[in-house]
């Protein structure tokens, strides 16, 4: 499970360790924690617990933490169990404890706002449903601000509600949200941005999504409606160009599923040309390839999901060129404290060293 960092010599100027400003977010390094659903809000309120505070506190060395996808209202809840929300006062109070710890430890943390949509329902959302959804995002964004977050990220990636609206094969609406499939995202961005002064809102997109991104997808019959092609990529080009007009802190891109140890840098370069603001790259990066994409000027920061699950001190390990550990998939979405707050920091096996 241990991956050896290639670069073990001292390098005081690793590109990932240089400070960067994303809108109004000032980061001491470019090592971002990607949002990861961990399903640990095991209480009726769907509120984060002190285990969440400990988990994010352990990772406060990140240039920026993007906290896990969080429900914007009771109506937006998807089929994942024990995912927290940010729509009730109890949840706001509980998240305040998390942001308090991260800030006390010198970190910065934004919250990913998530609407799962309902993949099992073919019922088209009514105009009233859509208006309520937009209002929910606005209220959740305001709640995140009150809970002490430094900003929010809109989850427009994956196969969830906003991405479903963007998808030409799934959005068959005849009204204004069908003729302009990106309208819902822009309305949500506007509502969520209203809670903040300046640029504290990020948008996450996954234009290259294919069946490889969803291992559980049914591969037996029918067309998988999400496979990226030239048409959908052209749609995303237009969308990203328009995002330039919005007050974003950053664009967070999940790139194609890597086919080897090195992510496809050209896939990110496409958006570097289209988007004027800061870009966070994600999917399959490690310290080496993360440095390279920042050094090439294609990304401003890189986000790490699985590496941050398994290496709470990821920034320290990068700084010192130490090896990184792999995460245990069995505890990604369950397991309580196990596989959540018990990944060790370097040096490993301190008790063994005590006897030295």
Ligand X SMILES: Cc1cc2nc3c(=O)[nH]c(=O)nc-3n(C[C@H](O)[C@H](O)[C@H](O)COP(=O)(O)O)c2cc1C
- Asked if 37 touches ligand X (CB under 6 A), the answer is yes
Chosen residue from 32, 68, 315, 339 binding ligand X by CB under 6 A? 68
Pick between residue 143 and residue 347 the one whose CB is nearest to ligand X: 143
Residue 157 binds ligand X, judged by CB under 6 A? yes
Identified binder of ligand X from the candidate list 284, 287, 290, 339, rule CB under 6 A: 284
Query: Which span (10-18, 34-42, 120-128, 161-169) binds ligand X, by CB under 6 A?
Result: 34-42
DSSP 8-state assignment for residue 204: E
Q: Give the residue with the Cβ less far from ligand X, 138 or 256.
A: 256
Asked if 99 touches ligand X (CB under 6 A), the answer is no
User: Is 155 one of the binding residues for ligand X (CB under 6 A)?
Assistant: yes
Nearest distance, CB of residue 316 and ligand X, angstroms: 18
Please compute, for residue 278, the number of CA atoms within 13 A of its CA located in the half-sphere on the CB side.
Answer: 25
How many other CB atoms are found less than 10 A from the CB of residue 229? Answer: 10
**CB atoms closer than 10 angstroms to residue 157:** 25
Tell which positions 104-123 bind ligand X, by CB under 6 A.
Answer: 112
Identity of the residue, 261 or 297, whose beta carbon is nearer to ligand X in the bound complex: 261
346-349 long-range contacts (CB < 8 A, ≥24 apart) are 346/313, 346/316, 346/317, 346/320, 346/322
Mark the segment that binds ligand X (CB under 6 A) among 18-26, 164-172, 175-183, 277-285: 277-285
| Residue 64 exposed, middle or buried by CB count within 10 Å (0-12, 13-18, 19+) | buried
Whichever of 100 and 306 has its CB closer to ligand X, that residue is 306
Torsion-angle region of residue 117: left (phi > 0), alpha (psi -120 to 50) or beta?
A: left
**Is 298 within 8 Å of 319 (Cβ atoms)?**
no
| 36 counts as binding ligand X under rule CB under 6 A | yes
Query: Would you tell me how many other CB atoms lie within 10 Å of the CB of residue 116?
Result: 20
Contact between 150 and ligand X per CB under 6 A: no
Structure tokens at 114: 């998530």
Does 69 contact ligand X by CB under 6 A? yes
**Shortest distance in whole angstroms from residue 309 CB to ligand X:** 7
Task: Report the site for ligand X in 292-351 (rule: CB under 6 A).
Answer: 304-307, 332
Nearer to ligand X, 200 or 252 (CB): 252
283 touching ligand X, by CB under 6 A: yes
Judging by beta carbons within 10 Å of its beta carbon (0-12, 13-18, 19+), is residue 276 exposed, middle or buried? middle
Quote the least distance from Cβ 285 to ligand X, whole Å. 6
DSSP E strand boundaries for 165-320 = 201-205, 250-254, 279-282, 301-304
Please answer whether residues 332 and 338 qualify as being in contact, where contact means their C-beta atoms are separated by less than 8 angstroms.
no
Query: By the criterion CB under 6 A, which residues form the site for ligand X?
Result: 34-37, 68-69, 112, 155, 157, 204, 254, 282-284, 304-307, 332
């Amino acid at each position: 499970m241990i991956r050896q960092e290639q670069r073990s010599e001292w390098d005081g100027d690793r590109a990932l360790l240089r400070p960067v400003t994303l809108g109004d977010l000032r980061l001491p390094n470019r090592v971002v924690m990607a949002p990861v659903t961990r399903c640990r809000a095991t209480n009726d309120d769907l509120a984060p617990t002190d285990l969440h505070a400990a988990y994010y506190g352990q990772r406060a060395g990140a240039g920026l933490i993007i906290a896990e996808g969080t429900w914007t209202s009771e109506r937006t809840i998807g089929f994942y169990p024990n995912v927290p929300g940010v729509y009730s006062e109890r949840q706001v109070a509980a998240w305040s404890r998390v942001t308090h710890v991260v800030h006390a430890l010198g970190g910065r943390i934004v919250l990913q706002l998530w609407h799962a949509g309902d993949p099992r329902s073919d019922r088209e959302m009514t105009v009233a449903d859509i208006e309520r959804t937009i209002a929910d995002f606005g209220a959740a964004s305001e709640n995140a601000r009150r809970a002490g977050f430094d900003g929010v990220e809109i989850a427009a990636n994956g196969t969830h509600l906003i991405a479903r609206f963007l998808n030409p094969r799934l959005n068959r609406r005849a009204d204004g949200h069908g003729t302009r499939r990106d309208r819902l995202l822009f309305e949500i961005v506007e509502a969520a941005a209203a809670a903040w002064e300046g640029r504290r809102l990020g948008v996450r997109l996954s234009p290259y999504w294919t069946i490889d991104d969803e291992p559980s997808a049914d591969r037996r019959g029918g067309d998988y409606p999400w496979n990226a092609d030239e048409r959908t990529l052209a749609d995303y080009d237009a969308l990203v160009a328009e995002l330039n007009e919005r007050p974003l802190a950053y664009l967070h891109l999940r790139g194609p599923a890597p086919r080897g140890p090195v992510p496809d840098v050209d896939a990110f370069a496409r958006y570097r040309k289209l988007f004027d603001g800061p870009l966070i790259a994600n999917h399959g990066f490690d310290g080496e390839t993360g440095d390279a994409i920042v050094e090439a000027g294609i990304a401003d920061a890189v986000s790490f999901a699985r590496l941050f699950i398994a290496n709470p001190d990821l920034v320290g390990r990068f700084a010192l060129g130490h090896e990184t550990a792999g995460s245990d998939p069995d505890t990604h979405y369950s397991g309580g404290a196990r596989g959540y707050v018990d990944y060790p920091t370097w040096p490993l096996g301190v008790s063994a060293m005590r006897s030295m």
